[in-house]
Structure 1
Amino acid sequence: MSCGDKLRIAIVVSEFNYDVTRIMEEKAVDHARFLGAEVAVVARAPGTFDTPFIVSRLLTSREDIDAVAVLGAVIKGDTKHDEVVAHQAARKILDLSIEHGKPVTLGIIGPGASRLEALERAEEYARRAVESAVKLARRSKELMGEC
C-alpha cells in the first residue's frame, strides 16, 4: 500500500448483546469514514469470545486489510463468565495483531459492565477502536518506510 492509498479496515462485531453492538457497529463505520478509512468488510461473530477466530480468518485470507477493529459487549451476569470471555478474547486479539503484523484493536466493553453501562459506553468504545486501528495502521506504514 502506498501513502496515497486509502486505509482499508475490517470491523468484527459480536452479535451477542446486539442491542449494544448494533450501535457500536454504526458508530464504527461512521467514524472510519470520518477518518478517511474505507471499511472493506464488516464481519460478525456469534459472541465476543468468537471474534478472534473471525479476525484470524480475515488476516489470513485478506491481504487488502490494513487493520481490524473488534467490537463487543460482555455484560456482567451472576457468575464470573464475563471475566473469562473478555480476558481471553483480549489476549487472543493482541496475539493475532502481533502474529500478523497488523493492528487489531480492542473495542470490547466489559467485563463487569451492566447493560446500561454498556449502552452508555457503546459509541465511545467503537470510536476509540476504529481510531486506534487507523492511527496504528498509518504509523506502521511510516515505520516500514511506506510513507
Structure 2
Amino acid sequence: MATAGVDLSAFNKEELPDTSGMRFGIVVAEWNEKITEALYQGAFDTFIATGTPERQITRINVPGTFELVYGAKQLCEKDIFDAVIVIGNVIQGETRHFDFVCEGVTQGVVDLNVRYDTPVIFCVLTDNNIEQSRARSGGKHGNKGVECAVAAVKMAALRRVVH
C-alpha cells in the first residue's frame, strides 16, 4: 500500500507559502460521514494552522462522492477561490459501483482542473475496507485531509504566481 509508513499529517508550516488573502473552498461528501468529517477537520485545521482566517474558508456539502464534481464546479465558476478541495470516501463493495464512482469523480476532477483556473485538489479515499479509511483519516497513517490542504496552499500560491 502506498501510504504504508507515511504520515499524511506531517508538514512544516514554515515551508509553506503565506496564505494571507487566500480563499479556500471545501466540498464534503455526506456519504461515509465519519470518514469525510475527519478528513474535513484535518484540512480545516491545517488551513487555520497556516494562518488562513476561518472566514476565508467556505464549506459546502453534497450527498455523495459522485456529486463532489458538481459542487466543486459551482465554486470554481465563482472564481473567488484560490483552491478547492473535494473530500469523499468510497469503499470497495461486492459490485462494480465502486469502479464507476471512483473513475467518474477522478475524471471529473481532472476535467475541472483543465477547464477552470482554480486548482481542485482530490481528497477522496478509495479504500478496500473501512479500516484503511480510518487509518488515512486520522488513524495510524495520519490524515489525508491535512496533506490535501497543504497541496491546496501550494497550488493556490502557484496560481497567484502564474496569474
Using the size of structure 2 for normalisation, the TM-score is 0.79
Aligned partners of 2:157 and 2:112: how far apart in 1?
A: 18
Question: For the aligned residues, what is the CA RMSD?
Answer: 1.7
For residue 35 of structure 1, report the CA deviation from its aligned partner.
Answer: 2.1
For residue 58 of structure 1, report the CA deviation from its aligned partner.
Answer: 1.3
Aligned partners of 1:17 and 1:4: how far apart in 2?
A: 30
Unaligned 5+ runs, structure 2: 1-17
Query: Identity rate of aligned residues, in percent?
Result: 25
- Contact 2:27-2:87 within 8 A present in 1 as well: yes
For residue 36 of structure 1, report the CA deviation from its aligned partner.
Answer: 2.5
When residues 127 and 5 of structure 1 are mapped into structure 2, their CA distance, relative to the original with a 3 A threshold, is: closer
Aligned partners of 1:75 and 1:4: how far apart in 2?
A: 33
Match of 2:96 in 1: 80
Match of 1:140 in 2: 159
- Contact 2:79-2:118 within 8 A present in 1 as well: no
Aligned partners of 1:58 and 1:4: how far apart in 2?
A: 19
For residue 91 of structure 1, report the CA deviation from its aligned partner.
Answer: 0.9
Match of 1:58 in 2: 75
* 3-state secondary structure, aligned to 1:77: coil
Unaligned 5+ runs, structure 1: none
Using the size of structure 1 for normalisation, the TM-score is 0.88
For residue 27 of structure 1, report the CA deviation from its aligned partner.
Answer: 1.1
For residue 79 of structure 1, report the CA deviation from its aligned partner.
Answer: 1.2
Note if 1:16 corresponds to 2:31. yes
